[in-house]
Chains A and B, each alone.
Chain A
Amino acid sequence: MNNDEKYHAWKDRPCPMDVSADFSADVMRRIYRQAEHRRIVRQNWFGFFECLPPSVQFALLAAAAIIGLGRFWLLFSILLKP
């Protein structure tokens, strides 16, 4: 074989791909598991929260923190009194 033939023989080598018979079944199993997990998660409050975009999550957390701390306004006002 000359150089060109060798180059083409190298480049055109078939790549034997033995895809296991269970490949698609395994993928689908993982996908069903995830879909089921997502469905369960969405059924509770935390799940609902997880589904929200991060910016909305941060906004809700910030609002909750302000409301929560607001309950102690009397304590804070006494402590921070000049």
Chain B
Amino acid sequence: MPEDSDIVKHVLNGDIDSFRILVERYQRPVLSMIRRLIWNSHRCEEIGQDVFVAAFQKLSTFDPARSRFSTWLFTIARNMSINASKKKALIPVEHLPEILDSRNPSDEFSDKEFFAQMDQTLKALPGKLQRAFILAEFEQMSYEEIARIEGTRLGTVKSRINRARLRLHAAMKDIEGGKV
């Protein structure tokens, strides 16, 4: 399987069709990340397309010595997701699907409610905390990668994730206690 940086070289040398390999390789993680960051599945393909087109346009600025191609691409996806969220309120607000098993219906309902309330709490967090948490916990990215994507220091990322977790745990207690 060709390395990302080799494909980039091919594309920059005029072999545009090689870019398709990068699109197919990263379409799923990029779309998943966008979907989580904008909380909307309806526009994620549209934004995803813009991300890849922007990546193609800026490809000459990609420096393999500074970062991996995936990190560079996720940074573009992160920026475009933030811009898309700012431009207009992305409606409808969606909750991610729940894992519900076949236990009794009242349990199922309370889980559903719990998930919805946790989603709301996460969504209400400041953008920086929210993104750090989503990238680490949902997208399973390393702290180093998140630091590069967010353009900040490793310690800052750790602190943001920790603060997000603390707030979520506090909210969880409130939900359980029936305060929410």
Measuring CB to CB, which residues of chain A are less than 8 angstroms from any residue of chain B? 1, 3, 6-7, 9-17, 19-20, 23-24, 26-28, 30-32, 34-35
Contact = CB atoms under 8 A, between A and B. Distances in A.
Using C-beta atoms within 8 Å of the partner chain, give the interface range for chain B: 35 or more
A27 B52 contact: yes
Nearest to A32: B16
Pairs of residues from A and B, 5 with the lowest C-beta to C-beta distance, nearest first: A24-B23, A27-B52, A10-B118, A31-B56, A27-B23
B115 A17 contact: no
Contact of B138 (A15, A16, A31, A35): A15
B42 to A, nearest CB: 12
A26 B46 CA distance: 10
Contacts of A10: 114-115, 118
Interface string B19-39: 110011001100110011000
A7 B20 CA distance: 38
Contact of A6 (B97, B114, B138): B114
Contacts of A17: 28, 31-32, 35
A42 to B, nearest CB: 14
Contact of A15 (B32, B56, B115): B32
A23 B34 CA distance: 15
A19 B57 contact: no
B90 interface: no
A40 B111 CA distance: 58
A14 to B, nearest CB: 7
B36 A9 contact: no
Nearest to A6: B114
Given A7-B172, A27-B23, A27-B27, 14 more contacts: A3-B176, A6-B111, A6-B114, A7-B118, A10-B114, A10-B115, A11-B137, A19-B27, A19-B45, A23-B23, A27-B53, A28-B23, A30-B53, A34-B53
A23 B115 contact: no
B95 to A, nearest CB: 10
A13 B97 contact: yes
B96 interface: yes
Contact of A23 (B27, B35, B168): B27
Contacts of A35: 16
B70 to A, nearest CB: 16
B16 A15 contact: no
B1 interface: no
